[in-house]
Amino acid sequence: MKADVLLGLQWGDEGKGKIVDVLTSKYDIIARFQGGPNAGHTLEFDGIKHVLHTIPSGIFHKNVTNLIGNGVVIDPIIFRNEILGIKKTKIPTSTLLISKKAHLILPTHKLIDAASEKAKGKEKIGSTLKGIGPTYMDKTGRNGLRVGDISSPEFKSKYERLKSKHIQILKFYDYEYDLSEMEENWFESLSMLKQFKHIDSEHYIHNAINQGKKILSEGAQGTLLDIDFGSYPFVTSSNTITAGACTGLGIAPNKIGDVFGIFKAYCTRVGSGPFPTELFDKVGEKIGKIGNEFGATTGRPRRCGWIDIPALKYAININGVTKLMMMKADVLSGLEIVKACTHYELNGKKIDYLPFEDNSNLKPIYKEHKGWDMDLTNLTDLSNAPKQLNNYIKWLEEILETPISIVSVGPDRTQTLYK
C-alpha cells in the first residue's frame, strides 16, 4: 500500500482542510507532515464551522487515526485550545497520536518572530507571528526541544538553556517583552499535550504501510510558500511539497501514491511577497468579498487575483500531482469574464516560467474565458453546471495536463462535485 498526499498548489488557504475532511472516510490514518499553527484549516459540516491549526483535518471522523508527524512544530498553548474546541463537539480526541520527534514552539520563539518582523520594517515577511521561523531555525540549528523531551528529567534545564539563547537574540533586536504570563500558560498547557500518546511515528507509519492501511498525508501552506521552491524570502520555513511528506512522516519516496493538488479557481495570498496576477480593482474586491477571503489564523484580508497557470504547472511538476481539485468555483459566478494568466512578460520578453529574478516585475499575459452566471452552491452534479464552467475546467485540464477530480462549490462538506 502507498500513502497519498494532499497539498496546496498556490500560496495556502486553497481549501485543504475541507477536502481532507471530505476524503477521510476512505482512509485509516490522516497525518499532518509539516508546518504548525501558522496553518488554519477550515471544515464545515452540519452547520458548524471548525478551524484547525495543528491537528489533522480527519479528527471529526471517529474511526480514523490522526497523526501529528515529526515535521510539524507544535505550540502547546494553541494545541490545548484546539483540543478544548474539539471536545465541545463531543467527538473523541483519543484517535490523535503525536510524533516524539515533532518540535516545540517556545514562547520565546514567538517573541523572536515578532522582533524579527519588526526589525524588517517594510521588508517584513508578513509572518503569522506563531513562532514558526525561529522554531525551524532551532530545529536545523540542532538546538530544538521535541515532544519526546517533555517527559525527560532534563526537560526544564534544556528549556532554560534554549530560553537564555533566545534572550540574547531578543537583546540584539532590542525588543521589549513580558515573558512571565506566556511562560506560565505554556507550562500549564504542556499537561494537555502529555495526555496524548507520543509515538515513534516513522515506525508506526512503516507498519501501517506494510499492513495495507490507507494513509492520507495532509499538507499545510502551499507550494509557493515552500522554503526551497516558494517565492523566497516571502515563504514559510518548511517543505510544503510532496518531498515534505517523506521527511515529515518518514515515508520513502517510492511509497508515495496519489498526490492531490488543490487550487482555487482564482488565486489568493496573505502576507507579503510577489503576486503577479494580483488584482487591485473592483473585480479583486468582489472576489475577496464573495470568497470571504480573510485569513483563518490571523483574520488578515487575503490579496486576490486571477489563476496563474505557469505557477500551477511549476507546482504540479515539483509535487508530482496525479489529480487536481479545484476549489471555490462558486465564487467566480456572476463575472462576465474569467481570466487565466498563461505567460508573463519580463523586460519585453514572453516567458512561461517563474524566474529567479524579482517576481514583482512580471507582467501577466491573460487568456479570457466567458464567465457563468448561476448560483453553483446547490449543484449536485457537474453535468448540470453552466457550459462556460465546464469549458473552463476542460481548458484547465488540457493546459495543466492533469485531470481535475473534484470541483468544490461551497465551504460545506456536501458542496463537493466529483468528476
Contact residue for ligand GDP among 209, 335, 409, 417 (CB under 6 A): 409
- The only residue of 80, 109, 110, 130 in contact with ligand IMO, by rule CB under 6 A: 130
The site map against ligand IMO for 11-50 (x = CB under 6 A) is xxx---------------------x--xxxx---------
CA distance readout (Å), 193 to 86, 175, 248: 14, 30, 19
On whether the CB atoms of residues 17 and 53 are closer than 8 A, the answer is: no
**Burial bucket for residue 142 (CB in 10 Å: 0-12, 13-18, 19+):** exposed
Binding mask 248-277 for ligand IMO (x = CB under 6 A): ----------------------xx------
Our answer to whether residue 41 is catalytic in this structure is yes
Q: Is there binding between residue 331 and ligand GDP (CB under 6 A)? A: yes
Judged by CB under 6 A, the number of residues near ligand GDP is 24
Is the CB of residue 9 less than 8 Å from the CB of residue 312? yes
- Chain length of the chain: 419
Q: 191: alpha, beta or left, given left = phi > 0 and alpha = psi -120 to 50?
A: alpha
The residues binding Mg ion (CB under 5 A) are: 13, 40, 296
Per partner kind, with CB cut-offs from 5 to 8 A, the member of ligand IMO, ligand GDP, Mg ion, none near residue 274 is none
Q: Report the SS3 class of residue 380.
A: coil
Q: Of these, 9, 105, 241, 296, which contacts ligand GDP (CB under 6 A)? A: 296
Minimum Å gap between C-beta 255 and ligand IMO is 24
Closer residue to ligand IMO in complex, CB, 75/392: 75
Spatial distance between the Cα atoms of 310 and 321, rounded to a whole number of angstroms: 15
Does 328 sit near ligand GDP (CB under 6 A)? yes
If the CB atoms of residues 297 and 333 are measured against ligand IMO, the closer one turns out to be 297
Which member of 4, 13, 75, 308 is catalytic?
Answer: 13
> Measuring CA to CA, which residue among 104, 187, 189 is closest to residue 145?
104
178 catalytic residue (yes or no): no
Which residue type is seen at 67?
Answer: L
- The count of other CB atoms within 10 Å of the CB of residue 312 is 25
Between the CA of residue 146 and those of 142, 199, 209, what are the distances in Å? 11, 12, 25
Angle at the Cα of 235 from the Cα atoms of 232 and 240, rounded to 5 degrees:
115
Nearest approach, Cβ of 76 to ligand GDP (angstroms)? 22
Amino acid code (one letter) for 227: I
410 binds ligand GDP (CB under 6 A): yes
Instruction: Choose which of 58, 133, 248, 411 interacts with ligand IMO (CB under 6 A).
Output: 133
Dist CA 143 CA 139 (whole Å): 6
Q: Which of residues 6-45 bind ligand GDP (CB under 6 A)?
A: 8, 12-18, 39-42, 44
* Among the listed residues 246, 253, 254, the one whose alpha carbon sits nearest the alpha carbon of residue 217: 246
Q: Of the residues 21, 41, 109, 198, which is catalytic?
A: 41
- Which is closer to ligand IMO, CB of 11 or CB of 263? 11
In whole angstroms, the minimum distance from the beta carbon of 378 to ligand IMO comes to: 27
Q: Looking at 152-224, list the stretches that DSSP marks H as alpha helix, in order from N- to C-terminal side.
A: 155-173, 180-194, 201-210
Nearest to Mg ion of 198, 269 (CB atom) = 269
Binding site residues, ligand GDP, CB under 6 A: 8, 12-18, 39-42, 44, 291-292, 296, 327-328, 330-331, 408-411
Residues taking part in catalysis = 13, 41
